[in-house]
Every structure is written in structure tokens, then in C-alpha cells.
A and B are shown apart, each in its own frame.
Chain A
Amino acid sequence: GENVEQHPSTLSVQEGDSAVIKCTYSDSASNYFPWYKQELGKRPQLIIDIRSNVGEKKDQRIAVTLNKTAKHFSLHITETQPEDSAVYFCAANAGGAQKLVFGQGTRLTINP
């Protein structure tokens, strides 16, 4: 079945710098890759997603890139702000199984 690996598990950056989180997936049939942000004690919330027919997608300070050949995708956050501090999850749909498989999460801390 689908396996999603996410790195790093923790990331600390200075406010204003960029943060990059990387994920790899195993199922070549996966074609949908969302990213979720989970603040402390809150629910995971969808922040951006990308489908396999697109290589890159941007939404203000957030961008996601996808390399289907290498089976990896990344989240890029520019000009980080304290409110970006949270746990971020990547996910991939599991081929024909109609479910999302999540990475292990990255705890991002923005230092003022």
C-alpha cells in the first residue's frame, strides 16, 4: 500500500526566512497531494493541494512542487511569520483505495 515519508520531523527557522518540508510517496498511481496545517489543540486544515498534472502551485507565501518521476513533493513557505508555527502534514491519495495516507508530520517553529 501507499507509504508517505516526511522530513524533517522538526524545523526551526527565523522569522522572515523560508521553510521547506519534503515528502516522498511510494504508490505511482497517487495523483493528489494535499498539505495540512495543525495548530496546537486544533483540527488539521487544508492549506494547499496539488494534482499530478501540475508541477507547481502557489498561494501567496505558500507553494508546493511535485516531481512525479522521483515521487516526491515539497511545501515551501516564504517570509515566515510567528503564526506559521504549527505541525504540517503532507498526504497522498492511496491509488485505488480512495483514502489519504499522511506523512508523519513536521513541527515548524518560527523564532521571532
Chain B
Amino acid sequence: DTAVSQTPKYLVTQMGNDKSIKCEQNLGHDTMYWYKQDSKKFLKIMFSYNNKELIINETVPNRFSPKSPDKAHLNLHINSLELGDSAVYFCASSPYHGFNYGYTFGSGTRLTVV
């Protein structure tokens, strides 16, 4: 029973296309995140939602739009994909906003833009 699940696991698409990645957690956590891991393995936060409310929006191009229909789900939609968007995107969750607990990460979505 996967705690944080992401779909799809792999995504290969052409430049200019629009794609979505979905994330669901069954841990009852309040806070969910999107992180981007580039080719050098660097993990950088993109967005954070607490109980469906956007809390953190880093300097991410507005082609990236997150949506949280409820506190167990966080999706990421990307418009007009560019080569530089190729990376692994990780969803994560943590129990409470404002408290410090480790994240539980999803298995990642490897996005390749060709």
C-alpha cells in the first residue's frame, strides 16, 4: 500500500506539448510538495500546499501550475514544455504545516522533453 504515489513514472514528450503529473498520499498528511531533481541530482522545491492552500511558490515559470483538489492530492500541469524541463519531479508530503518532520517522497516522475 504505497504511501505517496505518483503517475506516470515515465513521461516522454515533445517540446511545446502540455502534460500533467498526479500525486496522491494516503498518510493523512496536511502538507504536500513538488520538488524538481535535475541531472546533477540537485533537489529544489517548486511548490507547497497545506490543506489545499498554496503556501510556497518558488521562482518557477508560470507554465507550471499546481492544483490541489483535496489535501490528499496534488497535481502538476506543465504547459508548452521546453527541453530544460527534463528532470525527475518528486511529490512529497509531511504531517503538519509549521512543524518540522521529514518528508515522505513519491517514487518520482522522469520527464524527458525531446
Contact = CB atoms under 8 A, between A and B. Distances in A.
Interface of A: 31-32, 34, 36, 38, 42-46, 49, 51, 87, 89, 93, 97-102, 104-105, 107
B108 interface: yes
Interface in B56-82: 56
Interface of B: 31, 33, 40-45, 48, 55-56, 90, 97-98, 100-108
B107 A42 contact: yes
Contacts of A101: 45
A51 B90 CA distance: 24
B56 A45 contact: no
Contact of B100 (A32, A43, A45, A107): A32
23 contacts: A31-B100, A32-B101, A36-B102, A42-B107, A43-B90, A43-B107, A44-B103, A46-B102, A46-B104, A49-B102, A93-B100, A98-B48, A98-B55, A98-B98, A99-B33, A99-B45, A100-B45, A100-B103, A102-B42, A102-B43, A102-B44, A105-B42, A107-B41
B41 A87 contact: yes
The DSSP consensus for interface residues of chain A is strand
Most central of B55, B103, B106 by chain A CB within 10 Å:
B103
Contact of A51 (B45, B48, B100, B108): B100
Given A49-B102, A102-B42, A44 B107 contact: no
Given A31-B100, A43-B105, A93-B100, A98 B56 contact: yes
A23 to B, nearest CB: 14
B9 to A, nearest CB: 10
